[in-house]
Structure 1
Amino acid sequence: MVARALAELVMVVHYGVLVFLVVGGFLAWLRPRVLYFHVAMAAWGLLVVVFPIACPLTWLENAFRDAAGQPPLPGGFIDTYIDGVLYPESAARPVQVLVALVVVVSWVGYYLRRRNERSGGPVGVTGRR
């Protein structure tokens, strides 16, 4: 029972990691130190997509599933819980490109915001400091 709950907790954490991957750059606009974690997460995400690297969270979930007497995930986390569930499997590559674009936009926005703060330019939406 505990192992199954831990496997489900790891699954929830994994979803949280993916959400952070998408929106973490925007969070850095408000909390600049978040950017360090986001860059590391984006680099890891890129490695997992480009190379056949197993994610440690998937490994951990499978270990807990095994301890609970459940079969391992048939594929990776994304193959099991995301592809074909949140979008059609045929859209996997366009979704990956879209996520990459969102990350790049968030980083460009972060850069522009920090540059404006340093130069004394407008910071807020209203243009007021």
Structure 2
Amino acid sequence: MGYLIVAEAAMALHFAFLAYVVCGGFLVWRWPQAIWPHLAAAAYGLGVTVVGWLCPLTWLEHWGRVNAGQEGLGTEGFISHYLTGVVYPAEHLRETQLAAAAVVALSWIGAALLARRRAHRTRESSPAMR
């Protein structure tokens, strides 16, 4: 039972991490200092998808499932196992990855524009500028 809890928790964390990688840049619009953890998460996500880095959550889920007597993820990664062919067709993997990257880029562009606007407002309302 404990191994299955580990596997399920790793799967849930994985889904949460993927959601954060894709949409976490929008948190920066409200909390500008959130750019740093999102930058790290996006860089890691890029490394996993482009470079082929291993993800410890995939390993942890596989380990938990195998030790719980279930079939593990095998040679597939988390995305291949749960998303490709289920959420989007396998032949559209590259387009899905590009769409996710576009969402990240748009969130960062929006954050940069908001930061610029905030800096401009701060300069205008500064007593030294009057």
| TM-score for the superposition, normalised by structure 1 | 0.89
Alignment-derived partner of residue 14 in structure 2 = 14
What is the rounded CA distance, in whole Å, between the counterparts of 1:52 and 1:106 in structure 2? 25
Deviation at 1:33, TM superposition (A): 2.1
Alignment-derived partner of residue 117 in structure 1 = 118
Post-superposition Cα deviations, 1:19-69, rounded to whole Å, max 9, x if no partner, equal 001110001111122211110111011111112221111011112112212
Post-superposition Cα deviations, 1:79-125, rounded to whole Å, max 9, x if no partner, equal 0001001000011000000111110110010011011001118xxxx
Structure 1: where are the runs of 5+ without partners? 122-129
Identity %, equivalent residues: 42
What is the rounded CA distance, in whole Å, between the counterparts of 2:119 and 2:34 in structure 1? 19
Structure 2: where are the runs of 5+ without partners? 123-130
Please tell me whether Structure 1 or Structure 2 has the larger radius of gyration of its CA atoms. 2
Q: Runs in 1 of length 4+ with deviation above 6 angstroms?
A: none
What is the rounded CA distance, in whole Å, between the counterparts of 2:98 and 2:44 in structure 1? 15
Higher RCO (CA 8 Å, separation ≥ 6 residues)? 2
| TM-score for the superposition, normalised by structure 2 | 0.88
Alpha-carbon RMSD: 1.2
